[in-house]
Structure 1
Amino acid sequence: MKGLSYLRRYWQLYALLVLPVSYFIIFKYGPMYGILIAFKDFNFFQGINGSEWIGLDGFREVFAMPDFYKVLRNTLMLNFLDLIVSFPAPLFLAIMLYELKIGWFKKLSQTILYIPHFISWVIIGGIVLQVFGTQSGMINNIITSLGFDAIPFLTDKKDWLITYLAVGVWQSAGWGTIIYLAALTGINRELFEAADVDGAGRLRKIWSITLPSLKPTIVTLLIINLGHMIAIGFERPYIIGNTAVRDYADVLSTFVYRIGIESGQYTIATVVGLFQALVGLVFVLGANYASKKLADQSIL
């Protein structure tokens, strides 16, 4: 009865939940029914219910494919390197922006840094080709005009890897600063004033006040990023990659595209997608447990 009276009293708040809850039910939980495809010999014309059950045969077939382990290795490698290179970038940018004292320059810098996030990866792919292309790229035109050999940014595996990581930092770092800047605004200014009285310099205040205050945010974002270690976006490796660097650029998302969309092997594609989801869940839970034990910070 107490719950019903509370519901009648604050029904407007519960009414606001109708749309977001409906969204998650329809677009997040509803499609989970498609997981059954991983356990069936899916036939497009017979549908999910009419297709024949095959149990774990789809998983056995996937785990027996040599290409699967190659794309799994590439996915983990690219995500791990992205974590090392791209994860600290927003933190450093946010601290630098926070330390800026000129208001108009700070706003201008934030706007410029945010813009790449809103550019389509198709457009970014064109920019990358114009800038880093071996024959017609702007950088290589400058290098060759100075008498040096062109650098194969997009065709050599190691050079492509560096280009891939650099483009990722450029595209995502500015937008990632938003969360850190929001956390920085919540720091008590009296802490900085007390540090000034004690004679602390700017670097000492960053190390002793700013970074410890950002610790919960850093841990939370790190756990979320570790949960994405096995998942990787389709656009970036597909658009920037090419056949010359397929040994590095071929990842789980492009593998699913080739197997599922181009070859029509929907069962295999669903098995790989389910594998990604389960391993991602293990990564999140493991990272959360380790963080709770080592740093006393967690999201669960």
Structure 2
Amino acid sequence: MATNRWLQWRRGLPLYAMIAPGLVFFLLFKYLPMGGIVIAFQEFDPISGFADSPWIGLGNFERLFTAPDFWKLLRNTMMLSLLNLVLFFPAPIVLAVLLYEVRKSWFRKAVQTIVYLPHFLSWVVIVGVTVLLFATQDGGINNLLATKGFERIELLTDPDYFRSLYVSQNIWKEAGWNAIIFLAALAAVDPTLYEAAVVDGAGRWRQMWHITLPALKSTIVILFILRLGSVMDIGFEHVYLLQNAMNLRVSDVFDTYVYRVGILQGEFGFTTAVGLFKSIVGLVLILLASRLSKKMGEEGVY
């Protein structure tokens, strides 16, 4: 018996080796740091450490919910998350379906390569190029508009442009990369289904509606549920780089607030409470969405 178990373990050794880096990553950067949650209930002092910092219970949470900026931060964060769910989340699905419908293999591969490339660019590069092009006084496009007699576009300083700029940059950068998982799901579709649909007289649109999209349904549901878990995390780097004094009223979110108060002002306990609040909201949304998904006959995440 022990010999059989040893042989099974040896056969699975390559798989264990492949899993090991991922396990180490989650242990070091996801599970071990959870011990630091305790400072959300302390007036944390780095010199005193975890053991000697004064315990204040829910004081940090009370301070968060009564802060003058709380509702502004919540509104801005939820608005950007809602725009991501409504506009950004469907973009990879649409792109994957369109690429799947392309019959010329060389053209499909060329387009895939082009739309994947922005994922590997840093937000610093993307926002930097945007600034060079749309800076109010010396941006390339604004200078061109001025020479043609048009008004300059206050793209970076007008608060009304911030949300549309944020979402459009997200779509441009990540839609191609996120489409990979949907293309992988479509690769598992039985080609005979399309052949039978053609025999029955179904056109391309009918095939897409009755075969392609249903094949993606379970994948879409799972990814949507997981997306709800990060509804309060909209990406610090991207927002921070686009943020300035002119658009602060719509661009100040929990992530930038944590940086400003926690890192710059040293309020570690308070900003840990902010992070814990965000995590609890995400967890509750995942649990509710998963339960609702099961009631509707779909698979949940647990």
Write out aligned runs for 1:17-166 (5 A): 17-166=19-168
Q: CA deviation at 1:226?
A: 1.2
Equivalent-residue separation in structure 2 for 1:90 and 1:20 (angstroms): 25
Q: Flag the 1:148–1:34 CA change in 2: closer, same or farther, 3 A.
A: same
Q: Which amino acid aligns with 1:31?
A: P
Q: CA deviation at 1:58?
A: 1.2
Q: CA deviation at 1:7?
A: 4.2
Equivalent-residue separation in structure 1 for 2:3 and 2:51 (angstroms): 44
Segments ≥4 residues shifted beyond 6 Å: none
Q: Which deviates further from its counterpart, 182-191 or 224-233? A: 224-233
Q: Which deviates further from its counterpart, 150-159 or 244-253? A: 150-159
Q: Which runs of 5+ in 2 are unaligned?
A: none
The corresponding residue for 1:246 is 248
What do residues 37-95 of structure 1 show as CA deviations (whole Å, max 9, x unaligned)? 11111111111112111111111111110112211211111010111110111011111
Q: Flag the 1:295–1:87 CA change in 2: closer, same or farther, 3 A.
A: farther
Q: CA deviation at 1:142?
A: 3.6
2:288 maps to which of 286, 289, 299: 286
The 8 Å contact of residues 115 and 176 in structure 2, kept in 1 or not, is answered as: yes
Q: Which runs of 5+ in 1 are unaligned?
A: none
Q: Flag the 1:50–1:188 CA change in 2: closer, same or farther, 3 A.
A: same
The 8 Å contact of residues 218 and 298 in structure 2, kept in 1 or not, is answered as: no
The 8 Å contact of residues 232 and 252 in structure 1, kept in 2 or not, is answered as: no
The corresponding residue for 2:301 is 299
Q: Which amino acid aligns with 1:201?
A: G
Equivalent-residue separation in structure 1 for 2:136 and 2:196 (angstroms): 55
3-state DSSP of counterpart to 1:243: coil
Q: Flag the 1:149–1:50 CA change in 2: closer, same or farther, 3 A.
A: same
Equivalent-residue separation in structure 1 for 2:99 and 2:295 (angstroms): 32
Q: Which deviates further from its counterpart, 187-196 or 49-58? A: 49-58
Q: Flag the 1:295–1:66 CA change in 2: closer, same or farther, 3 A.
A: farther
TM-score, normalised by the number of residues in structure 1: 0.94
Q: Which amino acid aligns with 1:52?
A: P
Equivalent-residue separation in structure 1 for 2:270 and 2:30 (angstroms): 21
The 8 Å contact of residues 238 and 254 in structure 1, kept in 2 or not, is answered as: yes
Write out aligned runs for 1:176-255 (5 A): 176-255=178-257
3-state DSSP of counterpart to 1:236: helix
CA RMSD of aligned residues (A): 1.7
Equivalent-residue separation in structure 2 for 1:146 and 1:22 (angstroms): 58
